[in-house]
């Protein structure tokens, strides 16, 4: 990257990335607050949240991953100054997201009614069942919000969604205290209360996102070119756009689903080890996931900027921006690794005072500190590939790294060599390492003009 271009592109990438990161952190903070509030209520309720979330997000992230196809389409449309195509993408994505909810919501309700099939202990299954059932009702507002967020993100407008997240976190904290612990005269519902708080917040969030979108369209006609309107588009079947979203979205969906499923399968395996092991895993996973939100936000911004340059037919600049994102992600996660290594006890005590959970959690956090950089590189490189219009490479890398190498290693260490929770986390770390290697090698081989 030339000296004239590098500072300018770095500035634009960071201006886009910082609000996106705060939005992702806001999403994660809601889960962290739930974990803290539920953890102070009881370890069993926390185990129920862990088991329920592992199933819910395995299903939900398949749909959210599919919406990753919007990133290159909207960003390239923005770069080419074709807002009509971006609006067609929005309408088509809304149609497909609602269709996904029609299938996924009944599936989640069915799983909630048969949690004993997962092999979880009876007490954990009893705590997780009402939690998962309530979370299923919140899937449609979650998906609609994601569609709107990705549309405006592709247009490089992200700050309003950051503000929505800030508002949502305040609401979530109040309702979590009320419904989980029974504050202010409300009944204490434990794990189920956390799910109801999440449902209320998602409803408020999507309402705010819709209101913002309508207001922008009224005031800024560029984003809704005449005579095009969203309502007629929603009634139409845009065959070409459906095919384009499907072609890009299916590999992205499978990649996201496989990655989340790897972590969720690990959680369900740990459920067989008892509530204390599962509670420890949930706390450490929340800490690691919070750190992951920073490169995840950078990944989304990188996908948008890379897609923007592709829309302007500037392949070399798109590749330079890909590497710029990876470098920033590496520095970001190096800082995260130092924090996790330096203060593991203090981090764990934010969630629990159980000495056994803290003792076990310290060794797992040490593993997290070792794979932070690789976790950042793999997600930013996946975003760069998505911006380039390549969603298949990340799928193949994830399939081989997690399912071919990481999970079998973790399973063997845990159950054959009796390494317990530590062994399963070693497997997760190996999967992230090899995913980072495969993704970056794929970008290195790209040749664009």
Residue 44's nearest CA partner among 182, 179, 191 is 191
**Alpha carbons 322 and 248: distance in angstroms, whole number:** 18
Residue 128's nearest CA partner among 13, 49, 245 is 49
Q: What pLDDT, on the 0 to 100 scale, is given for residue 438? A: 94
Judge whether 151 and 85 are in contact, CB under 8 Å: no
Q: Between 83-113 and 122-137, two packed helices, what is the crossing angle to 10 degrees?
A: 150
The region, left, alpha or beta by phi > 0 then psi within -120 to 50, assigned to residue 57 is: alpha
Can you list the pairs that 261-264 forms with residues at least 24 positions away whose Cβ atoms lie under 8 Å?
261/58, 262/402, 262/403, 262/406, 262/407, 262/428, 262/431, 263/54, 263/428, 264/54, 264/55, 264/57, 264/58
Q: What pLDDT, on the 0 to 100 scale, is given for residue 3? A: 44
**Alpha carbons 397 and 72: distance in angstroms, whole number:** 20
Q: What pLDDT, on the 0 to 100 scale, is given for residue 1? A: 44
**Alpha carbons 331 and 319: distance in angstroms, whole number:** 19
Q: What pLDDT, on the 0 to 100 scale, is given for residue 442? A: 92
Q: What pLDDT, on the 0 to 100 scale, is given for residue 224? A: 61
- The DSSP string of 31-66 is HHHHHHHHHHH-HHHHHHHHHHHHHHHHHHHHHHHH
Chain-centre distance of CA 368, in angstroms?
Answer: 18
Residue 24 burial (CB count, 10 A) = 23
CA distances to 89, 138, 160, 376 from 200, rounded to whole Å, are 28, 8, 19, 31
In this prediction the pTM is 0.79
> 3-class SS at 313?
coil
Judge whether 175 and 200 are in contact, CB under 8 Å: yes
- The DSSP string of 85-132 is HHHHHHHHHHHHHHHHHHHHHHHHHHHHHTGGGGT--HHHHHHHHHHH
Low-confidence stretches of the chain (pLDDT < 70) are 1-6, 39-40, 43, 116-121, 221-235, 271, 449
- Write out the two tokens for 295: 């490169």
Q: What pLDDT, on the 0 to 100 scale, is given for residue 227? A: 47
Mean pLDDT of the chain: 84
Judge whether 255 and 394 are in contact, CB under 8 Å: yes
**Alpha carbons 396 and 442: distance in angstroms, whole number:** 11
Q: What pLDDT, on the 0 to 100 scale, is given for residue 407? A: 87
């Amino acid at each position: 990257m030339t000296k004239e271009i590098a500072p300018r592109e770095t500035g634009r990438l960071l201006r886009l990335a910082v609000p996106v990161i705060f939005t992702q952190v806001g999403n994660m903070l809601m889960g962290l607050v739930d974990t803290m509030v539920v953890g102070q209520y009881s370890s069993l309720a926390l185990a129920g949240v862990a088991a329920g979330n592992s199933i819910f997000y395995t299903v939900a992230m398949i749909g959210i991953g599919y919406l990753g196809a919007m990133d290159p389409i909207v960003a390239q449309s923005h770069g080419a100054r074709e807002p009509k195509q971006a609006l067609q993408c929005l309408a088509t994505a809304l149609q497909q997201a609602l269709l996904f909810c029609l299938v996924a919501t009944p599936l989640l309700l069915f799983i909630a009614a048969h949690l004993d099939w997962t092999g979880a202990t009876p007490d954990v299954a009893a705590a997780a069942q009402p939690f998962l059932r309530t979370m299923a009702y919140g899937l449609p507002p979650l998906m609609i919000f994601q569609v709107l967020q990705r549309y405006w993100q592709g247009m490089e407008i992200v700050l309003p969604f950051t503000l929505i997240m800030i508002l949502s976190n305040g609401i979530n904290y109040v309702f979590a205290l009320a419904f989980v612990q029974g504050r202010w005269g409300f009944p204490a519902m434990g794990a189920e209360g956390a799910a109801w708080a999440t449902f209320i917040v998602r409803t408020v969030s999507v309402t705010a996102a819709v209101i913002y979108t309508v207001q922008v369209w009224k005031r800024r006609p560029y984003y809704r070119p005449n005579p095009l309107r969203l309502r007629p588009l929603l009634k139409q079947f845009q065959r070409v756009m459906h095919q384009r979203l499907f072609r890009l979205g299916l590999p992205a969906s499978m990649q996201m689903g496989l990655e989340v499923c790897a972590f969720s399968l690990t959680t369900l395996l740990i459920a067989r080890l008892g509530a204390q092991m599962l509670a420890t895993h949930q706390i450490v996973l929340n800490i690691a996931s919070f750190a992951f939100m920073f490169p995840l936000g950078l990944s989304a911004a990188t996908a948008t900027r890379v897609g923007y340059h592709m829309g302007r037919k500037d392949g070399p600049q798109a590749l330079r921006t890909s590497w710029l994102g990876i470098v920033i992600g590496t520095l970001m996660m190096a800082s995260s690794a130092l924090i996790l290594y330096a203060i593991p006890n203090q981090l764990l005590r934010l969630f629990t005072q159980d000495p056994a959970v803290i003792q076990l959690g310290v060794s797992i956090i040490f593993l997290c500190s070792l794979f932070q950089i690789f976790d950042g590189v793999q997600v930013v490189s996946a975003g760069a590939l998505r911006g380039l219009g390549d969603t298949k490479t990340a799928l193949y890398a994830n399939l081989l790294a997690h399912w071919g190498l990481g999970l079998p290693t973790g399973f063997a260490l845990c159950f054959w060599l009796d390494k317990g929770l530590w062994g399963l986390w070693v497997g997760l770390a190996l999967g992230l390492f090899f995913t980072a290697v495969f993704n970056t090698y794929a970008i290195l081989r790209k040749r664009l003009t």
